[in-house]
Amino acid sequence: MTIDHTKTVVFITGANTGIGNQTVRHLLSSDVAYHIFLAARTKDKAEDAILKLKEEYQNTKSELSSVVLDLEDDGSIERAVGEVRSLTDRIDVLINNAGVELDHLGPSLGLSQREIFLRTYSTNIAGPHILTTHLIPLLLKSANPRLLFLTSGTASFELSSNPDFILNKSPISGWPKPPQRELFAYKSSKVALNMLMRDWHRILREDEVKVWAVNPGFVLTGLGGDRGVLKSLGAGDAGGSGGFVVGVVEGKRDGDVGRIVQREWIYGDTLPF
């Protein structure tokens, strides 16, 4: 395959489902022509996603390539980068979208508290950082390089002080506490991701790479397990999140480089960070 370098080249992780997949859909619907590297954990997941997208978006100006990428595996990261390098010497946009939330599902998978934290940080922090480090040389070949990290409103100190937000309910006194959905590992990993974004913004400032953390809002995805529970908590539709991410890609938040940008919050307020 030969990459058409008149197209904007995008690499997006975790793009077979959820917000990543919705982002690809909005890219395919755009008037801008893209070449999209759709990364997923397995070849089957990536290629199945591309097959469905090609059937749905037959008139798109854009093209798709599958990439196998497991952010917990350095060898997988290196192979994915090598595959991209074999097809192009440039990418214009890197979207670090993939992430895990194991606080809820981890115990049913037999994971200890330590294992939940280690795997969460490996996927949500170490993986994106290592992938970004490998792809920086290709980003620097772009005339308009952009680097996005998908964060979460649950990482907001402002939101965490809002007693009206459903995830901030304080349990009754005493120990042990009654069962309640807690996100210790996930939320703290996204706080760390926000600082990772700030460091990459600082490091790449003189290279004129535009860097953001993007909060897509509280939406229905497979990330947190039971979709019925997420919906009952007020989660919205992921389609709007994909459109918001593409808006950042296409320049709508260029005045906010180096910051956390977000959709209007699901409860009606745009919360400061």
Among residues 88, 58, 68, which one has the least CA distance to residue 13? Answer: 68
Backbone angles phi, psi at 224, to 5 degrees: -100, 15
- Annotated active-site residue 112? The verdict is no
Catalytic residue selected from 62, 66, 76, 186: 186
> Which of 45, 62, 65, 190 is the catalytic position?
190
Cα 125–chain centre separation: 11
Query: b or e along 221-244 (b: 16 or more beta carbons within 10 Å of the residue's beta carbon)?
Result: bebbbeeeebeeeebbebbbbbbb
Asked about 57 being catalytic, the answer comes back as no
Please report the beta strands in 90-193, taking only residues with DSSP state E, as ranges in sequence order: 93-96, 146-150
- For 271, residues 6+ apart whose C-beta sits below 8 A from its C-beta are 153, 156, 158, 159, 162, 262, 265
121 is catalytic: no
Q: Spot the catalytic one: 65, 66, 152, 241.
A: 152
Using a 10 angstrom Cβ sphere, with 0-12 exposed, 13-18 middle and 19 or more buried, the burial of residue 29 is middle
Give the sign of the dihedral formed by CA 192, CA 135, CA 239, CA 245. Answer: positive
What distances in angstroms separate CA 256 from CA 132, 203, 250, one per listed residue?
20, 17, 13
Radius of gyration of the chain from its Cα atoms, rounded to whole angstroms: 18
Residue 210 backbone phi and psi in degrees, to 5: -85, 125
Query: In Å, how far are 153, 178, 245 from 250, measured between CA atoms?
Result: 22, 46, 9
Catalytic residues: 152, 186, 190
